[in-house]
A and B are shown apart, each in its own frame.
Chain A
Amino acid sequence: MTTDHASAAPSVTSGGAAPRHDSGKADGPPSQERKRTERRSRWYRWDLKYSPYAFISPFFLFFAAFGLFPLLYTGWAAMHQVSMTNPNEMEWVGFDNFSRLWDDEFFWNALRNTFTIGLISTVPQLLMALGLAHILNYRMRGSMMFRVAMLTPYATSVAAATLVFAMLYGRDYGMINWALDLVGIDPVSWEAGTWSSQFAVSSIVIWRWTGYNTLIYLAAMQAVPNDLYESASLDGASRWQQFRHVTIPALRPTILFTVVISTIGATQLFGEAYLLAGSENGGSQSQYQTLGLYMYETGWFNLHLGRAAAIAWTMFLLLIVIGILYWVLTRLVGKSNGEEA
């Protein structure tokens, strides 16, 4: 009936479809019939060609509107003086906001704090996660129960977790000082000291993310072929040696992944420092003010949105530099180890 129109149809597939659909009403005039088939095959081709773009467009439209555009506009705003009280009036100041940061001791303080808090929260966290994942990989009972329990802090919001920890770290009635008193240690004024407050902030981060990283490592460890361990143990390798020489090398990409993710997280650390005492300056001496918090204080408490934008872009550039650094490092490590990327 539809003659041999296969050449007009885009592929065999729609050619197969046409007869079935038309079989019921095949008695129409042939020219109309042909036109309909043509229209359908054109629509089919059109559908095949453009539907992928239709499927990805919601994501990219939203991303363009609420991700890419704001990202670039932050850079533009960083070149202006913008007040939070009247955010739609911008005055061009060039790189003033950036050069101001250079001379700003609070900025350097925040940068330093971000670095030290990032270090004392990330390193122990990942090391513990690695160890925990290793023993969770043993054959055991209740493995899933342990995993779920260790992941619950991940479900706890920054705000809720910090409120609870702030109470636990309380100077006068906090449980931690009470416990220290039991073993004869004088109460610590956690929030007031520099190291103690940064330790407190880091402990919240560690509490919330260790379980998550444990699961990531565990997933990677389960993908390591068992024969590697078997041959290692045949060679007389101890548990520690197996961990050191089989597990760790196999996990290198995963470890890098978690290091990168944790670094990004540490750079933008905000809520834990903000809510430890509920003040935007990060302690009376800004002793635990992070870059994220300093940006918030600058923009929404000191009302300088332009300078806040400059801080945000500095954080972004910092992340890019760190990213390049990691990339170079892995390249070097990879080379020194023969292969592996």
Chain B
Amino acid sequence: MATAPVIAPNTRETTDPPPRGGSRRRRAGRAGRAGGHLRAGWLTYLILTVFTVGSLFPLLWSAIAASHTNSRLAETTPPFWFGGRLFTNLEAAWTDANMGTAMINTIFVAGTVTISTVLFATLAGFAFAKLRFRAKNLLLLLVIGTMMVPPQLTVVPLFMAIAKLEWTNQLQAVILPTMVSAFGVFFMRQYLVQALPTELIEAARVDGANSLRVVWHVVFPAARPAMAVLGMLTFVAAWNEFFWPIIALTQQNPTVQVALTGLGQGYVPDRGVIMAGAFLGTLPLLIAFVLFGRQIVGGIMHGALKG
């Protein structure tokens, strides 16, 4: 199902900056080292295939189950191939389970959160990577520390706040608290430290550029590959955001995860429709994975190396 269109046998793009859109592969050269020190045997392929199947099977099965009637799914032998009910069930999920509203809401929420996270993370990451200011190291430590705060610690006051502001069920209630991310700041900092030559900033300053111009003409172009990766990671995270949305929103104006929670609580008792909802709610990210899987993999590995 979601296999990547591009197969990359021997590269180590992970230690390089995350690759851009259609970047060409560098073959040979370091390829000898690239794939590792040992050659894979049939057992390796077998194990990897088993895990690949295991990773993809639940998703594939949700699509299969989404194409059957409730009574077919209640038979002793589960279905292994697609039935004819897929579009009926998808339609039911779209309207009855409110997945339609949910998808549109989530696109808006995740889109806004992604843009603001990437923008603010790039600005702050640039400042931490290349500028001098007071208490820099302490503030950076604070950024890293905030990555560890679990969401449970913020929801009670946030809930009290939105109750007071009467923001329950309104999208800004789930957008505002996630507009920035500590991980993003750290990620951009780590990237810009090495990807943005300090001489370039100095040269721009010599030309009389003020800080905003430096950001616009030097930092953003240099940061673009990392911004793209951070954007994708943020979009995935924002799309899947769960704990706070189910508190702040209800089934009247849900995001995808809130609508899926409604399905899980049995608002629609049809299993085919439940699976259709689960599949539908994952589909946009699956498409993103088919298109940009390589970049996302590269981004996670790149971030990990520095983290």
B127 & A271 in contact (Cβ 8 Å cutoff): no
A276-308 residues at the B interface, CB under 8 angstroms: 278-279, 292, 295-296, 299-300, 305, 308
Return the contact of A138 from the options B33, B35, B300 (Cβ within 8 A).
B35
Contacting residues, chain A, for B146 (C-beta < 8 A): 63, 67-68
B285 & A156 in contact (Cβ 8 Å cutoff): yes
Q: How far is the CA of A62 from the CA of B182 in the complex (A)?
A: 11
Q: Which residue of B lies closest to A139 (CB)?
A: B35
B120-147 residues at the A interface, CB under 8 angstroms: 120-121, 123-124, 126-128, 131-133, 136, 139, 143, 146
Contacting residues, chain B, for A229 (C-beta < 8 A): 37
Q: How far is the CA of A264 from the CA of B152 in the complex (A)?
A: 12
B4 & A144 in contact (Cβ 8 Å cutoff): yes
A69-84 residues at the B interface, CB under 8 angstroms: 69-71, 73-74, 77, 82, 84
Is A30 interfacial (CB 8 A cutoff)? Answer: no
A59 & B121 in contact (Cβ 8 Å cutoff): yes
**Contacts A88-B164, A140-B45, A316-B150: A150 and B52 contacting too (C-beta < 8 A)?**
yes
Return the contact of A167 from the options B38, B45, B148, B271 (Cβ within 8 A).
B271
A138 & B282 in contact (Cβ 8 Å cutoff): no
Which of A103-111, A118-126, A217-225 lies on the face that meets chain B? A217-225
Q: How far is the CA of A223 from the CA of B2 in the complex (A)?
A: 28
**Contacts A17-B206, A219-B301, A275-B264: A47 and B211 contacting too (C-beta < 8 A)?**
yes
Contacting residues, chain B, for A210 (C-beta < 8 A): 51
A173 & B74 in contact (Cβ 8 Å cutoff): yes
B239-271 residues at the A interface, CB under 8 angstroms: 239-240, 242-243, 247, 256-257, 260-261, 263-266, 271
Among B131, B182, B240, B307, the one with the most A-chain Cβ atoms within 10 Å of its Cβ is B240
Contacting residues, chain A, for B210 (C-beta < 8 A): 43-44, 47, 51
B124 & A216 in contact (Cβ 8 Å cutoff): no
Min CB gap B136→A, angstroms: 8
B156 & A312 in contact (Cβ 8 Å cutoff): yes
Is A267 interfacial (CB 8 A cutoff)? Answer: yes
Interface string of B284-307 (1 = CB under 8 A from A): 011011000110110011101101
B160 & A305 in contact (Cβ 8 Å cutoff): yes
B134-185 residues at the A interface, CB under 8 angstroms: 136, 139, 143, 146, 148-160, 163-164, 176-180, 182, 185
A215 & B260 in contact (Cβ 8 Å cutoff): no
Which of A157-165, A192-200, A328-336 lies on the face that meets chain B? A157-165
Q: How far is the CA of A215 from the CA of B229 in the complex (A)?
A: 15
B156 & A164 in contact (Cβ 8 Å cutoff): no
B127 & A268 in contact (Cβ 8 Å cutoff): no
B40 & A135 in contact (Cβ 8 Å cutoff): yes
B152 & A315 in contact (Cβ 8 Å cutoff): yes
The secondary-structure label for the interface of chain A is: helix
A53 & B133 in contact (Cβ 8 Å cutoff): yes
Is A20 interfacial (CB 8 A cutoff)? Answer: yes
Return the contact of B236 from the options A155, A218, A268 (Cβ within 8 A).
A155
Is A239 interfacial (CB 8 A cutoff)? Answer: yes
B281 & A70 in contact (Cβ 8 Å cutoff): no
A162 & B243 in contact (Cβ 8 Å cutoff): no
B297 & A151 in contact (Cβ 8 Å cutoff): yes
> Interface size bucket, A side?
35 or more
**Contacts A66-B176, A144-B8, A146-B48: A215 and B304 contacting too (C-beta < 8 A)?**
yes
A16 & B206 in contact (Cβ 8 Å cutoff): yes
B264 & A278 in contact (Cβ 8 Å cutoff): yes
Is A257 interfacial (CB 8 A cutoff)? Answer: yes
Q: Which residue of B lies closest to A40 (CB)?
A: B208
A150 & B55 in contact (Cβ 8 Å cutoff): yes
Is A117 interfacial (CB 8 A cutoff)? Answer: no
Return the contact of B156 from the options A148, A159, A299 (Cβ within 8 A).
A299
Q: How far is the CA of A235 from the CA of B178 in the complex (A)?
A: 53
B28-43 residues at the A interface, CB under 8 angstroms: 33-40
Is A26 interfacial (CB 8 A cutoff)? Answer: no
B158 & A66 in contact (Cβ 8 Å cutoff): yes
Is B193 interfacial (CB 8 A cutoff)? Answer: no
Return the contact of A139 from the options B2, B10, B240 (Cβ within 8 A).
B10
Q: How far is the CA of A233 from the CA of B39 in the complex (A)?
A: 14
Q: How far is the CA of A88 from the CA of B273 in the complex (A)?
A: 39
Q: How far is the CA of A211 from the CA of B52 in the complex (A)?
A: 10
**Contacts A140-B44, A158-B240: A13 and B206 contacting too (C-beta < 8 A)?**
yes
Interface string of A251-265 (1 = CB under 8 A from B): 000100100000010
A-B contact pairs, 6 of them (CB 8 A): A59-B121, A144-B297, A148-B289, A157-B256, A163-B277, A312-B155
Q: Which residues of A contact B (CB under 8 A)?
A: 13-14, 16-18, 20-21, 43-44, 47-49, 51-56, 58-60, 62-63, 66-71, 73-74, 77, 82, 84, 87-88, 132, 135-168, 172-175, 178, 207, 210-212, 215-216, 218-223, 226, 229-230, 233, 239, 254, 257, 264, 267-268, 270-271, 274-275, 278-279, 292, 295-296, 299-300, 305, 308-309, 311-313, 315-316, 319, 323
